[in-house]
Amino acid sequence: MKVLGIESSCDETGVAIYDNRDGLLAQALHTQVDLHAVYGGVVPELASRDHIRLLPALIRQTLDEAGLAVADLDAIAYTAGPGLAGALLVGASVAEAMAMAAGIPALPVHHLEGHLLSPLLSDDPPAFPFVALLVSGGHTQLMRVSDVGDYELLGETLDDAAGEAFDKTAKILGLGYPGGPQLAALAARGRGGRFRLPRPLLHSGDLDFSFSGLKTAVLNVVSSPDWQPDWCADLATDFQQAVVDVLTAKAAAALKRTGLRALVVAGGVGANLALRATLDTAAGRLGARTYYPAPALCTDNGVMIAFAAAQRLARGEAPRGDAVIQVRPRWALAGLARPGASKPGADT
């Protein structure tokens, strides 16, 4: 079954074709980093317009690379949420129009489900069930994953996600956009221990997160009369360590609580090397193992959307055939319908 996947939830335009038999056939990805850098963050209207401009060309490029025509596809999948409403509508409109013209089904896909399942694309994938730590720019969640579509929320952020805290702290330190990778690079040059930063909810007894207070603590340090710009790298190191400590402690607690021995880490922050090293060590102490997607699949991409859709179709989900544009800027992953179950209503 050949599925073309379209990702347009934020500031990456991704297209890929995945075949349940032959694997990944082709992919194309464009990032809007340069477009938004001058503004210090994503401008939703500009993001939508760039998706409109690039998506047709990326689809043609991907089909050509795979040696396929639209008529050779079995389904077209698209990110239906969560994400920026306008950006989601671009991908949904193109996918539904293509599917209707070709007489094939279209399948809305949850963006976070794409991230969650992306480690299954590796040569050594995890087996169900497992604990998943989703850490991206807009989401920090712990899930128990029993199968495709069978997700139980264990804990989530109450305010800023880890990725947001990275980006906002980078802005406080005067770093460019996107801030997360630049802050991590700066932290690698710093010396830890200069600043005592909080670990919010570290001992809360639950699996929820909170990072807004940590970001505020950084702001207070930089705003103090004793602050010296030469301390930026050290502050970045201590900030990153605080985030890593919280994420690792909560992930370890989730493994203990569920009794599972596999931890999947997905989302852009999951590419952070300091986080990976600490999670690997913590999981090993519990007799567990960590799994990550390939580095190229940590950020938003069309591969994870095509793959998630292919997995759902292979498990019996009946795709819609009504060409209704279905996007959900807010969409709880834990409430996602299992393959074969009735689909949730649309929020357009």
pLDDT of residue 174: 94
More confident residue, 332 or 220: 220
Q: Which residues have a Cβ under 8 Å from the Cβ of 238 and sit 6 or more positions away?
A: 190, 192, 193, 194, 195, 196, 197
Query: In angstroms, what CA-CA distances link 193 with 115, 173, 189, 236?
Result: 33, 18, 13, 11
* Residues 287 and 216 reside in one and the same domain: yes
Q: Worst-scoring range by mean pLDDT, 215-219, 221-225, 322-326?
A: 322-326
Please report whether residue 309 resides in a domain.
Answer: yes
Among residues 276, 292, 308, which one ends one of the domains?
292
Split at pLDDT 50, 70, 90, the class of 334 is confident
Q: Tens digit of pLDDT for each residue in 200-212?
A: 999 999 999 999 9
Q: How many CB atoms lie within 10 A of CB 311?
A: 21
Q: Tens digit of pLDDT for each residue in 244-289?
A: 999 999 999 999 999 999 999 999 899 999 999 999 999 999 999 9
* Residues 106 and 134 reside in one and the same domain: no
Please report whether residue 170 resides in a domain.
Answer: yes
Please report whether residue 342 resides in a domain.
Answer: no
Closest CA to 37 of 171, 170, 165, 178: 178
Note the pTM of the prediction, 2 decimals: 0.93
Domain count along the chain: 2
* Residues 27 and 150 reside in one and the same domain: no
* Residues 131 and 175 reside in one and the same domain: yes
Please report whether residue 346 resides in a domain.
Answer: no
Please report whether residue 344 resides in a domain.
Answer: no
* Residues 136 and 280 reside in one and the same domain: yes
Q: What is the CATH number of the domain that holds 242?
A: 3.30.420.40
Split at pLDDT 50, 70, 90, the class of 21 is very high
* Residues 85 and 174 reside in one and the same domain: no
Among residues 275, 292, 309, which one ends one of the domains?
292
* Residues 235 and 330 reside in one and the same domain: no
Average pLDDT, the chain: 93
Average pLDDT (78-87) is 96
Please report whether residue 347 resides in a domain.
Answer: no
Classify residue 196 as exposed, middle or buried by CB count within 10 Å of its CB (0-12, 13-18, 19+).
exposed
Q: Where are the alpha helices (DSSP H) in 231-300?
A: 232-258, 273-285
Among residues 292, 319, 343, which one ends one of the domains?
292
* Residues 40 and 10 reside in one and the same domain: yes
* Residues 264 and 287 reside in one and the same domain: yes
* Residues 160 and 108 reside in one and the same domain: no
* Residues 142 and 8 reside in one and the same domain: no
Split at pLDDT 50, 70, 90, the class of 340 is low
Indicate if the pLDDT at residue 318 is higher than 70: yes
Indicate if the pLDDT at residue 9 is higher than 50: yes
Q: Tens digit of pLDDT for each residue in 128-178?
A: 999 999 998 788 999 999 999 999 999 999 999 999 999 999 999 999 888
Dihedral (Cα; 61, 66, 71, 77), 10-degree rounding: -80
* Residues 256 and 318 reside in one and the same domain: no
Q: Worst-scoring range by mean pLDDT, 119-123, 294-298, 301-305?
A: 294-298
pLDDT of residue 347: 43
Going 18 to 22 to 25 to 29, the CA torsion angle's sign is positive
Taking a C-beta distance cutoff of 8 angstroms, is the pair 56, 84 a contact?
Answer: no
Domain containing 253 equals 127-292
Please report whether residue 348 resides in a domain.
Answer: no
At 213 the three-state DSSP class reads helix
- Paired residues of 266 in beta bridges: 134
